[in-house]
Amino acid sequence: MDQYIPLRTKVFRKPVRSIFYTQNNWKKFDEAGDGIFRLPSAEQYLAKREIIKENIIEYHYLLKKDQIDEGTLVSISGICIPVNTPLTDVLSEELTELFRSEELCGVDFVLSKTKIYPIKASEQKPMYYGYLIGEKNSLNTAHVQLTVLLQLHEGNVVEFVDLQSLSFIPMIAGVQSLNLKNISTSFQTKVFLPNLSNTSVAAAAIKPQIFLSGSVHSLVLQAKEILNSMISSIDGELYYSKLQNVSQVKLKYISSNYSTELTHLMMKYQTFIYLNPSKEEVEFQSSSTHLLELVKKEFTMEILSDVLELQLIFHDGEYNSIEKPIPELLLDLCLKYNITLLVENNRWNFVLVGDQQKLEKVLDWVSKNMQSTPLQVKYFVELDPSYKDFISGKKNGKISRIMDTTDVTINLDLQNGHGNMILTMFANDIKNAIAGQKLVSDELPSEKSFFIPEAYHRPVIGTGGSVIQTIMRKHNVFIQFSNSFLLPQNKLAHIRYDNVVIRCPSKNRNEIIPAKEELNQLAQEYSEMQPNVQLKLTPGQYRYLLNHNEKDKLSLVDNIGTIERRTSTYVLFPFQEPKEGFLLEIRGNDNQATIAARKLSESFGAELEVIITSPIIDIIGFSNSIIVPFLAMNIIVTTTDRLIRFTYKEGNKSISYALDILRDYLKKINVTIMDKSFINSWIVEPPKQPYPQNIENKKHTQHPNVYIQQHAYGYATL
């Protein structure tokens, strides 16, 4: 079949109000002036659509696959970057040199005091608006390198870490990049990652790098050391899996249109996903076999099952094919809705690949505009095999009912276990096709997963399942609880995985949110009735707990799950470093919270608090003279206002020596120690009644007035 591929690209006109621009790719576009563009020739496309905006013209094409080299298929795009670094002659020269490099010569950079192009900026009123313009896959690389150059001009130090492969990035970053966020906080270092979605041949030839930037060189080096250690540990524990027999056309469509969703999944499950159209498979790499299974299922549910194939076979009434040019209006629909079109040798036998909602609009258009031409319709949906019974119903009842009601044929193909399940619907006319497609779509699974503490599962389920059965009947949904204690934790952060799933047919999906809210309300009410114990958790203690891991012992993040499981408690451990004065709360029945608090506090380090006459002003000098050298003595130093705190393992014999060094340093800067105290007791007297905290003041480090709240990445944010 002839294949026509959708391409969306832009023409950027040369600005007249800029204060700086590179000159790599500007060329004459029309009588109005120059622009940056890569447009196909008239012989290479079947149809096009033009949308004119301010200084940008957007083109939508249907390209002829046999007339183009897909390796050279380029979409020109742009991003807006707020720039707050003064433009000097030196910076101008270095910007020009940077974008002349072999890696970035396909990208141009424009700097202006006002907005030039209609592209959203992350900052409302920066010093300058910077625009990166070029091939879509190259923009992230250019963004990182530009940011690094600006960091150097702002007086920061920059280091880099080489990676063997882009596939390491999700495992290094951790869920929602929490590993990197905690490194950034602990070592006052910004971390810049390469583009996860750039898997082109050109990108593969360049070794990926992570850049680190900060004002204190010694702290940046410490962050680099931590990253290198994480990379070494990942290299020895990798697992792989594949999804086979996935349509090449579908994979190319996903690659072009679902990069944001793919990155989201990779970061959610710490798993790298590689689309391999040439082998018709999807490859997964992770440090956990369990996460591999989770991500494969969600990839199918959220992405593959959303990209459908619709076949329209027109005939003369005697089932003879019709030989006519492609209808212009059908081409317009493919351009408008970004649909891939396959055509059989100028016959009216069309296969359309796109997302479900857009293909439904195509069916609707056919029913209104081509009623007089007989046709057959085939509709293909890809689903995870675990949903077979859900889709078919008891004794195949759901499918039989649809076929009896609409005169369509439905088949479920499990591909002999070598891939996903393919649902095929066949209809002999458009009326039954639309009715059947609607009924099939109504029965497709819709689900929402989220976190409820394991300690609350039993009361939420109720005696003999009485409570949960009532909720399921009320909302006509299925609810499943699971245990997430044994799932792998981040290296430098504690995370919570989804452990509750609400599932129902899509026709009833509006009941999922009310059911979820009802479950959360039950868990919250139970939580508020429980006794609670609070522990002092300082920023230094947080770093100590996440980094300190004796041989042959569980890390703290794994130990929390063990404590919760044995005591039926919930430890509200923060996902990012807390601010000064934070109290870690543990909830449980009877005296279980106290038992859990005592067990958890056994992992705490001892602390020495030093009160000084005035705050530290020279942070760089203090970091170089105290913070970093003390790390070699296994002492974590934090400071806020007039407080300096040491956090260390009980019995550390270097404390007296470290205190002498601190005293000498403070003397040199005319600061005096007023008081010092050793802290080795962490449990504090709980309030008489649990009371809600102010979410505006506490944010991620304290518990808001709703004790259980889910995050889009699939773990609880408290």
The whole-number pLDDT of residue 417 equals 78
589 contacts 716 by C-beta, under 8 angstroms:
no
Range(s) of the domain holding residue 675: 532-684
Ramachandran angles phi, psi of 21, nearest 5°:
-155, 145
Q: What average pLDDT does the segment 561-579 reach?
A: 92
Greater pLDDT, 555 or 573: 573
Q: Could you give the 3-state DSSP secondary structure of residue 165?
A: coil
Is residue 689 assigned to a domain?
no
The whole-number pLDDT of residue 688 equals 54
At residue 103, what is the residue type?
E
- Give the rounded percent of residues in the chain with a pLDDT score beyond 70: 92
- pLDDT(373) > 80: yes
Q: Domain tally for the chain?
A: 6
Nearest to 448 by CA among 704, 273, 710: 710
Same domain, 14 and 149: yes
Is residue 211 assigned to a domain?
yes
**Cα 394 from Cα 202, distance rounded (Å):** 51
**Cα 417 from Cα 396, distance rounded (Å):** 20
DSSP-derived pairing of the beta strands 643-648 and 606-612: antiparallel
Same domain, 284 and 186: no
60: tokens are 């939508």
- pLDDT(207) > 90: no
Q: Residue 687's pLDDT band (boundaries 50, 70, 90)?
A: low
Which among 284, 301, 318 is the end of a domain?
A: 301
Please give the helix or strand (H or E) that residue 526 lies within, else none.
Answer: helix 512-529
Q: For 291-342, write each residue's pLDDT tens digit.
A: 898 899 999 999 999 999 999 999 988 888 889 888 889 999 999 999 999 9
The whole-number pLDDT of residue 204 equals 56
The whole-number pLDDT of residue 552 equals 39
- pLDDT(713) > 60: no
Same domain, 478 and 549: no
Is residue 272 assigned to a domain?
yes
| DSSP secondary structure of 647-693 | EE-TT-TTHHHHHHHHHHHHHHTT--EEEEEEE---EEPPPSS----
Same domain, 667 and 559: yes
How open is the CA angle 9-14-15, to the nearest 5 degrees? 120
Q: Residue 558's pLDDT band (boundaries 50, 70, 90)?
A: low
Greater pLDDT, 494 or 665: 665
Which among 447, 467, 491 is the end of a domain?
A: 447
Nearest to 505 by CA among 449, 451, 440, 424: 440
Nearest to 122 by CA among 156, 86, 84: 84
Same domain, 543 and 574: yes
Is residue 702 assigned to a domain?
no
The whole-number pLDDT of residue 698 equals 37
Q: How many CB atoms lie under 10 A from the CB of residue 50?
A: 9
**Cα 74 from Cα 77, distance rounded (Å):** 10
Q: What average pLDDT does the segment 143-155 reach?
A: 94
- pLDDT(205) > 70: no
- pLDDT(344) > 90: no
Cβ burial of 78 (10 Å; 0-12, 13-18, 19+) is buried
Q: How many CB atoms lie under 10 A from the CB of residue 252?
A: 19
> Lowest-pLDDT range, 50-59, 123-132, 584-593, 689-698?
689-698
Which among 421, 447, 473 is the end of a domain?
A: 447
The whole-number pLDDT of residue 623 equals 93
> Lowest-pLDDT range, 123-127, 275-279, 672-676, 688-692?
688-692
Is residue 703 assigned to a domain?
no
Is residue 701 assigned to a domain?
no
Q: Could you give the 3-state DSSP secondary structure of residue 498?
A: coil
Q: For 428-443, write each residue's pLDDT tens digit.
A: 999 999 999 999 999 9
Same domain, 457 and 421: no
Between helix 539-547 and helix 556-567 the angle, nearest 10°, is 90
The whole-number pLDDT of residue 434 equals 94
pTM: 0.87
Q: Residue 389's pLDDT band (boundaries 50, 70, 90)?
A: very high
Is residue 97 assigned to a domain?
yes
CATH number at residue 182: 3.30.1370.10
CATH number at residue 354: 3.30.310.210
At residue 594, what is the residue type?
T
Q: Could you give the 3-state DSSP secondary structure of residue 544?
A: helix
The whole-number pLDDT of residue 703 equals 35
At residue 374, what is the residue type?
P
- pLDDT(425) > 90: yes
Q: What average pLDDT does the segment 117-144 reach?
A: 90
